[in-house]
Amino acid sequence: MRIALFATCLADAMFPRAAQATVVLLERLGHEVVFPAGQTCCGQMHVNTGYQREALPVVEHHVDVFEAALRPRAQGGDGVEAVVAPSGSCVGSVRHQHAVVARRMADQGRADAGLAARAEAVAARTYELSELLVDVLRVTDVGARYPHRVTYHPTCHSLRMLRVDDKPLRLLRAVHGLDLVELPDAEQCCGFGGTFSVKNADTSTAMLADKIRAVQTTRSEVVTAGDSSCLMHIGGGLSRLRVGTKTVHLAEILAGEGWEAAL
Partner 1 sequence: MTTFLGMPGLPVATERGTLRGPDTFPVAARKALGDTQLRKNLGHATSTIRAKRARVVGELDDWEELRAAGAAIKADVMARLPELLVQLEENVTARGGHVHWARDADEANRIVLDLVRAAGTPDDPVTSVVKVKSMATQEIGLNEALAEAGIAAVETDLAELIVQLSDDTPSHILVPAIHRNRAEIRQIFLDHMPDVDPGLTDEPRVLAMAARAYLRRTFLAARVAVSGANFAIAETGTLAVVESEGNGRMCLTLPQTLVTVMGIEKLLPTWRDLEVFLQLLPRSSTGERMNPYTSMWTGAPRTSGGTADGAPDGPQDLHLVLLDNGRTATLADEAGRQALHCIRCSACLNVCPVYERTGGHAYGSVYPGPIGAVLTPQLAGMHGHGADAPAGGDPVDTLPYASSLCGACFDACPVRIDIPSMLVHLRAKHVETAQAQRRVPGLPASAENAAMSAAAWVMQDAGRFSFAEKGLQLGRLLARDGRIRSLPPPLSAWTTSRDVPAPPAETFRQWWARTRGDRS
Instruction: Find the binder of partner 1 among 160, 174, 243, 257 (CB under 8 A).
Output: 160
CA gap 60, 179 in Å, rounded: 43
Q: Between residue 32 and residue 91, which ones bind partner 1 under the rule CB under 8 A?
A: 34-41, 43, 45-55, 57-58, 60-61, 78
Site track for partner 1 across 89-118, x = CB under 8 A: -------xx--x---x--------------
Q: Of 115-123, 127-135, 138-146, 185-193, which part binds partner 1 (CB under 8 A)?
A: 185-193
Shortest Å, Cβ 232 to partner 1: 7
Show Cβ contacts of residue 17 under 8 Å, excluding neighbours closer than 6 positions.
Answer: 249, 252, 260
Phi, psi of 208 (to 5 degrees): -65, -40
CA gap 232, 126 in Å, rounded: 23
Burial state string for 115-134 with b = 16 or more CB within 10 A and e = fewer than 16: bbebbeebbebbbbbbbbbb
- Compute, in degrees rounded to 10, the torsion defined by CA atoms 170, 213, 93, 64: -80
- Our CB check for partner 1 shows the closer of 73 and 176 to be 73
Our finding on whether 244 is near partner 1 (CB under 8 A) is: no
Q: Between residue 113 and residue 152, which ones bind partner 1 under the rule CB under 8 A?
A: none
Instruction: Find the binder of partner 1 among 6, 20, 63, 130 (CB under 8 A).
Output: 20
- Our CB check for partner 1 shows the closer of 60 and 252 to be 60
Our finding on whether 249 is near partner 1 (CB under 8 A) is: no
CA gap 168, 151 in Å, rounded: 12
- Our CB check for partner 1 shows the closer of 32 and 135 to be 32
Pairing of β 222-225 and β 246-249: parallel
Our finding on whether 168 is near partner 1 (CB under 8 A) is: no
- Our CB check for partner 1 shows the closer of 175 and 229 to be 229
Q: Which of 88, 231, 102 is nearest to 158 (CA)?
A: 88
Our finding on whether 184 is near partner 1 (CB under 8 A) is: no
Amino acid in position 231: L
Our finding on whether 245 is near partner 1 (CB under 8 A) is: no
